[in-house]
Structure 1
């Protein structure tokens, strides 16, 4: 595969990865804060689907296309910007893995509350706090990775 095609795939997959994460976080957080249990149940259901459909697939494509780009372009693997990108990516994925589990719990708790006509229980808010706390370092890791991909600082 040529460099331009690899770069396009890498940029597209990073856009899907970051965009899905930011969009899902926005909708899930604000649906939760509105406290409309049916809306929360609906949004969390589709956030989980979007995470599996877009985030999981692009989380695999990113390191693969990144590695192929490094090889194709002839960048030294031990370049500081590459090493930082890999470390920050590992941090972001380490935050994302428990987030996937939390989102499934949030979905299930919200669905049970909606079916019972009850408000969201304390368990939901506990999970949501952890979800937000894990999302913060992942968000900033990806922002820095985007900078590193573009600037490739020495």
Structure 2
């Protein structure tokens, strides 16, 4: 029964991590495309809050429950798909802090433009593009991790079945 509880928590955390992360990402993209600094500032403020207080803890729960599942099942940490998932998870996590920092910068720049009635500076769009591509890389990694969680295979093994 412990296994089922842990697996349930692991899946729920994955849904929160992926769902809130993707939702925040898409909302900030949509807000930024509007070009309206007030809208961007408001959405960026919410995105920073959600990513800090929901998405980040979900990632922590993922690590804890994933480790607990390995212990309960006796599966070795060096199992191909587990090890690859961890490597990708660490890489995605390494993108996370820069993403949070860039989101906060975008928020401040949009708030400044809204407060002063000026257009968004070119620097905003430069930072936005970096943030956008970090998101593409991060979510690509997350898609691979979910594939490995479901199939219990590395992507290469999955393609050869």
How high is the TM-score relative to the length of structure 2? 0.92
CA shift for structure 1 position 119 = 1.4
CA shift for structure 1 position 121 = 0.9
Residues 103-145 of structure 1: per-residue CA shift (max 9 Å, x gap): 1111111111101111111111111011011111110110010
User: Counterpart of 1:74?
Assistant: 74
- Matches of 2:21 and 2:40, distance apart in 1: 17
Is structure 2 residue 84 aligned with structure 1 residue 84?
A: yes
CA RMSD of aligned residues (A): 1.1
Q: How many residues align?
A: 154
* Runs of 5+ consecutive residues of structure 1 not aligned to the other structure: none
* Runs of 5+ consecutive residues of structure 2 not aligned to the other structure: none
CA shift for structure 1 position 69 = 0.4
Q: List structure 1 runs of 4+ shifted beyond 3 angstroms.
A: none
CA shift for structure 1 position 30 = 1.2
CA shift for structure 1 position 48 = 0.4
- Matches of 1:56 and 1:139, distance apart in 2: 14
Is structure 2 residue 106 aligned with structure 1 residue 106?
A: yes
- Matches of 1:122 and 1:5, distance apart in 2: 49
User: Counterpart of 1:146?
Assistant: 146
CA shift for structure 1 position 34 = 1.0
SS of residue in 1 equivalent to 2:119: coil
User: Counterpart of 2:20?
Assistant: 20
SS of residue in 1 equivalent to 2:93: helix
User: Counterpart of 1:93?
Assistant: 93
- Matches of 1:74 and 1:151, distance apart in 2: 18
User: Counterpart of 1:43?
Assistant: 43
Is structure 2 residue 141 aligned with structure 1 residue 135?
A: no
Is structure 2 residue 37 aligned with structure 1 residue 52?
A: no
- Matches of 1:102 and 1:59, distance apart in 2: 19
CA shift for structure 1 position 19 = 0.7
User: Counterpart of 1:29?
Assistant: 29
- Matches of 1:120 and 1:54, distance apart in 2: 28
